[in-house]
């Protein structure tokens, strides 16, 4: 493979005469192009993919795997909702630190852990179908890996453990076994994600720019990949985690809040923002004063919201508090763009942003 | 490797001559294998030629963002199309860098980014639409007469995008995307009622076959095409319906038969974000692939539509056959060769490659 190179003065239609006639003009153009190439393609060495992996991403997946294993162990002993709730909440907390990543093993693996949003209600439908049929897969964690992703992972548990239509099951019943199976399948998924990240994919990120790495052709590309994840997560939190329940002023949709049955909408927003900030800080390898201030304000805004499930947003005053939190997310994103993105010289995807 | 220097010398020799020279063969342009539109680090738009190793053979300035191109079958002459709504197509002499012709759509027409030559190179067909209604039009240009507009025919649908010459050399296949757009910009006007199709036309414009998908997929805009030597047509789609519906984004069609949809597993399909930007058969024709710059993914299928696997690459979009496999380009300047042994970096340029790679 070749390496990025500054572009020599091009024999262009528009500049051909100048390039042929004037060495001085050509030199000036080359210098200008070199500056532009440097800004676009060569961020300073301080952007630290290894630190992002070692201080945030890999410990995060390891903690999630441990928490999911604890949930599975708990469920194997007692699969009733009250018994499972603390371990479920702990596993979801752990997930939020790394759950918005969509790279490497998480590119497809995250969806079967966290199937949301679910506008067509696939999760309750699929669970109801499994329960009505007493599908044997619901008692078999290995077979459960082939069940629809809508019935797997944390959101299947949010439904099964906390929705009144599902959560009244008795010990020894099919739904109780199903809850334990979902927990066991989740633990398997969490271990696979942790192994996939800490093994092959971390190696791919760390070897960016080396021969044989066809995913990241330069170190800058690996930095860009992680940086993009941060902004995408914050946009998802503002647009979906808050935007879906907010709906419009005339038609708020509180039932669309994320994992509302287990009272997680607000914690998920705050934890996602904390995770984005932590990843940005690790990647930058330096304090991010603007982003730090934005995160502090976001925490304050969240602390003023009384209902963690955001079910009160039909009230205009409650809605306003959530809209302020949404604004804080956008401010945090802008702060990270200022503190990190400008340093990295990263622009949005050329093709991804504007298709045809 | 010294193409650029020879190029400069040629420019100095010919000065600003446009269109006066007889056409040179592709060898004079460094035998490029591919054309690609791109943006350089200074923000200017260019058309580049690429050899099979991914090295640049020529670079020509474009006045605005390009989209796709068409290479003349014998002369070192390429037509570079502006992206929609296109107001220019440039006929460039790829050997000398000279602008040979500038094509403008007739009043009330706009170029839609793609075009193709007849096999003998005497005619150019351009994908266009009526600016006011988005009704699809194929413009026909007389190459020997200096790319004179000689006729136009109906494309068979709304908002045509890609078009290709079938291997019989006598049939055009057109991806009528179905989307009506605002005359002045790219705003989409009819997403609730859109109805894309795949249309086959004789070179004189007679509609001989038209394929539509099930009405549940009418919001899946048929936009890009790849043709195998035996006439199998692959079409790539872009979903305009409800988010996260994860519809199939690739179809395969053989004339006279119903279309076959190629779906990936749900988690993979969701990761494509409802968007396929380019489609190509691999070099052997045994497989076909689509790219999603939004998902940063390439999906491979066999010729019967079975999913074979995914390759991740940020902002990947351009796709063409390469050796037995594929060549993929991206907005980060990467050229990735994807062969039976997996992906490998072929070259890396200080360019943001635009949506398509055109194989010459």
**Average confidence (pLDDT) over B107-128:** 96
A148·B16 Cβ contact <8 A: no
Q: Are B125 and B116 a contacting pair, CB within 8 Å? A: yes
**For B228-280, how does the pLDDT look when each residue is reduced to its tens digit (9 = 90+)?**
999 999 999 999 999 888 999 999 999 999 999 999 999 999 999 999 999 99
A149·B4 Cβ contact <8 A: no
Q: Are B360 and B48 a contacting pair, CB within 8 Å? A: no
Q: Give the best residue of B345, B346, B352 to mutate against chain A (max A CB count within 10 A).
A: B345
Q: Is residue B33 part of a domain?
A: yes
A102·B39 Cβ contact <8 A: no
Chain B CB contacts of A349 under 8 Å are 293-294, 314-315, 331
The pLDDT, as a whole number, for residue B96 is: 87
CATH number at residue B204: 2.130.10.10
**For B320-356, how does the pLDDT look when each residue is reduced to its tens digit (9 = 90+)?**
999 999 999 999 999 999 999 999 999 999 999 999 9
Chain A CB contacts of B41 under 8 Å are 6-7, 33, 36-37, 39-41
**For B20-57, how does the pLDDT look when each residue is reduced to its tens digit (9 = 90+)?**
345 788 998 888 999 999 999 999 999 999 999 999 99
Q: Report yes or no: A7 at the B interface, CB cutoff 8 Å.
A: yes
So where are chain A's domains? 49-206, 219-344
Mean model confidence pLDDT for chain B:
92
Residues spanned by the domain of B219: 3-260
**For B165-208, how does the pLDDT look when each residue is reduced to its tens digit (9 = 90+)?**
999 999 999 999 999 999 888 899 999 999 999 999 999 999 99
Residues of chain B with pLDDT > 90, as a percent, come to 84
Instruction: With a cut of 90, say whether residue B75 has pLDDT above it.
Output: yes
Chain A CB contacts of B46 under 8 Å are 10, 12
> In chain A, which residue's Cα lies nearest the Cα of B112?
A356
A349·B333 Cβ contact <8 A: no
The pLDDT, as a whole number, for residue A131 is: 98
Interatomic CA distance for residues A76 and A181, integer angstroms? 8
Q: Report yes or no: A119 at the B interface, CB cutoff 8 Å.
A: yes
Q: Give the best residue of B36, B312, B356 to mutate against chain A (max A CB count within 10 A).
A: B312
The pLDDT, as a whole number, for residue B261 is: 98
Query: What is the assigned CATH class of domain A49-206?
Result: mainly alpha
The pLDDT, as a whole number, for residue A351 is: 77
B347·A17 Cβ contact <8 A: no
Chain B CB contacts of A117 under 8 Å are 244
Angle at A197 between CA A193 and CA A200, to 5 degrees: 120
Please tell me the total count of domains within chain B. Answer: 1
Q: Is residue B134 part of a domain?
A: yes
Tell which CATH classification among 1.10.3470, 1.10.10, 1.10.860, 1.20.120 matches the domain A219-344: 1.20.120
Q: Is residue B10 part of a domain?
A: yes
Q: Which of A33, A109, A350 sits opposite B331 (nearest CB)?
A: A350
Q: Are B51 and B31 a contacting pair, CB within 8 Å? A: yes
Higher pLDDT among residues A9 and B104, named by residue = B104
Do the first three CATH levels of A49-206 and A219-344 match, i.e. the same topology? no
Q: What are phi and psi of B133, to 5 degrees?
A: -110, -10
- Residue B232, helix vs strand vs coil: coil
Distance from CA of B83 to the nearest CA of A (A): 8
Q: What residues contact A353, with CB distance under 8 A and at least 6 apart? A: none
Of B51, B76, B80, the closest CA to residue B67 belongs to B80
Q: Which positions of chain A have pLDDT values less than 70?
A: 1-47, 343, 345-349
Q: Report yes or no: B317 at the A interface, CB cutoff 8 Å.
A: yes
The pLDDT, as a whole number, for residue A124 is: 98
């Amino acid at each position: 493979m070749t390496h990025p190179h500054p572009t020599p003065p091009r024999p262009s239609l528009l500049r051909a005469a100048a390039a042929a006639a004037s060495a001085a003009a050509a030199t000036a153009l080359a210098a200008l192009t070199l500056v532009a190439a440097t800004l676009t393609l060569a961020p300073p060495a301080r952007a630290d993919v290894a630190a992002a992996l070692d201080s945030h991403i890999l410990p995060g997946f390891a903690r999630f795997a441990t928490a999911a294993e604890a949930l599975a162990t708990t469920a194997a002993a007692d699969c009733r909702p009250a018994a499972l709730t603390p371990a479920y909440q702990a596993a979801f907390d752990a997930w939020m630190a790394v759950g918005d990543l969509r790279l490497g093993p998480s590119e497809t693996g995250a969806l079967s852990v966290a199937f949301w949003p679910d506008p067509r209600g696939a999760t309750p439908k699929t669970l109801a179908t499994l329960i009505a049929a007493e599908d044997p897969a619901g008692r078999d964690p290995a077979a459960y890996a082939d069940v629809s992703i809508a019935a797997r992972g944390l959101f299947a548990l949010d439904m099964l453990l906390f929705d009144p239509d599902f959560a009244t099951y008795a010990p020894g019943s099919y739904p109780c076994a199903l809850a334990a199976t979902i927990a066991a399948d989740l633990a398997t998924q969490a271990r696979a994600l942790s192994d996939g990240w800490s093994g092959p994919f971390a190696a791919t990120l760390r070897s960016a720019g080396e021969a044989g790495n066809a995913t990241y052709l330069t170190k800058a590309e690996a930095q860009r990949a992680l940086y993009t994840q941060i902004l995408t997560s914050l946009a998802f939190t503002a647009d979906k985690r808050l935007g879906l329940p907010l709906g419009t002023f005339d038609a708020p949709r509180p039932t669309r809040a994320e994992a509302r049955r287990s009272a997680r909408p607000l914690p998920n927003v705050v934890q996602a923002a904390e995770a984005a900030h932590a990843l940005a800080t690790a990647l930058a390898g330096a304090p991010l004063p603007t982003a730090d201030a934005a995160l502090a304000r976001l925490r304050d805004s969240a602390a003023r919201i009384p209902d963690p499930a955001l079910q009160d947003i039909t009230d205009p005053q409650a809605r306003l508090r959530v809209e302020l939190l949404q604004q804080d997310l956008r401010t945090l994103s802008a702060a990270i763009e200022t503190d990190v993105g400008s340093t990295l010289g990263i622009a949005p995807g050329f093709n991804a942003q504007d298709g045809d | 490797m010294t193409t650029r220097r020879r190029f400069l010398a040629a420019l100095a020799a010919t000065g600003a001559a446009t269109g006066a020279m007889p056409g040179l063969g592709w060898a004079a342009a460094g035998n490029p294998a591919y054309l690609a539109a791109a943006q350089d680090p200074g923000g200017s738009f260019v058309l580049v030629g690429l050899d099979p190793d991914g090295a640049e053979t020529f670079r020509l300035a474009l006045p605005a963002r390009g989209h796709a191109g068409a290479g003349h079958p014998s002369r070192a002459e390429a037509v570079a199309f502006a992206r929609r709504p296109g107001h220019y197509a440039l006929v460039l002499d790829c050997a000398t860098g000279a602008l040979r012709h500038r094509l403008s759509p007739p009043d009330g027409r706009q170029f839609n980014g793609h075009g193709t030559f007849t096999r003998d190179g005497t005619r150019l067909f351009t994908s266009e639409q009526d600016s006011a209604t988005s009704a699809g039009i194929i413009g026909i240009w007389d190459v020997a007469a200096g790319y004179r507009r000689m006729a136009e025919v109906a494309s068979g649908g709304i908002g045509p995008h890609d078009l290709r010459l079938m291997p019989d050399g006598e049939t055009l296949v057109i991806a009528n995307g179905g989307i009506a757009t605002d005359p002045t910009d790219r705003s989409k006007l009819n997403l609730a009622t859109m109805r894309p199709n795949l249309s086959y036309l004789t070179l004189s414009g007679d509609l001989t076959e038209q394929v539509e998908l099930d009405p549940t997929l009418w919001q899946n805009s048929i936009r890009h095409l790849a043709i195998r030597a035996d006439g199998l047509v692959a079409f790539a789609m872009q979903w305009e319906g409800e988010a996260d519906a994860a519809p199939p984004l690739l179809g395969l069609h053989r004339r006279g038969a119903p279309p076959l949809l190629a779906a990936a597993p749900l988690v993979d399909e969701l990761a494509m974000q409802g968007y396929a930007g380019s489609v190509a058969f691999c070099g052997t024709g045994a497989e076909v692939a689509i790219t999603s710059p939004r998902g940063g993914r390439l999906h491979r299928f066999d010729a019967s539509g079975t999913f074979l696997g995914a390759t991740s690459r940020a902002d990947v979009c351009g796709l063409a056959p390469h050796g037995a496999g594929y060549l993929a380009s991206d907005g980060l300047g990467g050229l990735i060769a994807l062969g039976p042994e997996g992906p490998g970096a072929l070259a890396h340029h200080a360019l943001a490659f635009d949506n398509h790679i055109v194989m010459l």
